[in-house]
Amino acid sequence: MITNEPSSPKNEFDYVGLIHNQVVSEFVKQTEGEKLTNEEVLDKVKTITLSNPDYAKRFGTEYLGLTIKQVNEGIKDFPNEFKNIINSLPISSEAKEIFNGLLNETFEIENSDLSYDRYREYVLILEEKIIDNKSLPKKEKEAVLCSTSVARYSSYLWFGKINEGSTSKKFFGWVIAGDVAGGILGAVFGGVVGAIGGASGGSSLVHTINESK
């Protein structure tokens, strides 16, 4: 049973992960047993996001999600743990190193007995370092903190579903990594709005692929 909550009041973008979990949970509920194309997944995520009260209260009808081109590039780069995508982003080398480190740790879930609490602790320590970081540009710091918020909440959601027996453990680390990678892409190109749309789309896509195996 997971007892430690994923929230972190120190992160001003903590709500990003919270809204992400609400959207993804609703997506899983609405699409159970359905076979969807990637385009249909992205359309469904957009509809659910825009109808989410917490999202609408903050952003109204503004929305930015993943593109099919980004999805295809992500699928191609999946075996490389998204390193090619991260390293091609228009951000500093410091930010790339941080994002690659976060994704490496996330993918490690699949290769070890890494628990939710251990992963959460890793993310919280990383966040503290980022909050105190004086060298990262403001937009890059925002993108990292949006992504760590997604990482905390996503791991809480999917580890919880494993414990409930409502989803397969096989490849579930990939789902969390899909969340994080989608959140990174969205945050870099679209700030907070993009982080929510990108992470929710990434999670829903990998979940859909995973459940169809």
In the predicted model, is pLDDT for residue 88 greater than 60?
A: yes
pLDDT digits (tens, 9 = 90+) for 48-77: 999 999 999 999 999 999 999 999 999 999
| Selection from 1-15, 71-85, 108-122, 167-181 with the highest mean pLDDT | 71-85
Res 167: pLDDT: 57
Confidence of residue 114 (pLDDT cuts 50, 70, 90): confident
- Does 21 have pLDDT greater than 60? yes
Q: Over the stretch 182-212, which tens digit does the pLDDT of each residue have?
A: 999 999 999 999 999 999 999 899 888 877 6
- Predicted local distance difference test score (pLDDT) of residue 101: 96
When pLDDT is averaged across residues 21-36 and rounded to a whole number, the result is 93
What is the pLDDT at residue 197? 97
The predicted structure's pLDDT at residue 207: 83
Task: Compare 213 and 188 and report the one with higher pLDDT.
Answer: 188
Residue 169, pLDDT > 70, answer no
Identify the pLDDT of residue 206.
Answer: 87
What does the H/E/C string look like for the chain?
A: CCCCCCCCCCCCCHHHHHHHHHHHHHHHHHHCCCCCCHHHHHHHHHHHHHCCHHHHHHHCCCCCCCCHHHHHHHHHHHHHCCHHHHHHCCCCHHHHHHHHHHHHHHHHHHHCCCCHHHHHHHHHHHHHHHHHCCCCCHHHHHHHHHHHHHHHHHHHHHHHHHHHCCCCCCCHHHHHHHHHHHHHHHHHHHHHHHHHHHHHHHHHHHHHHHHCC
pLDDT value of position 187: 96
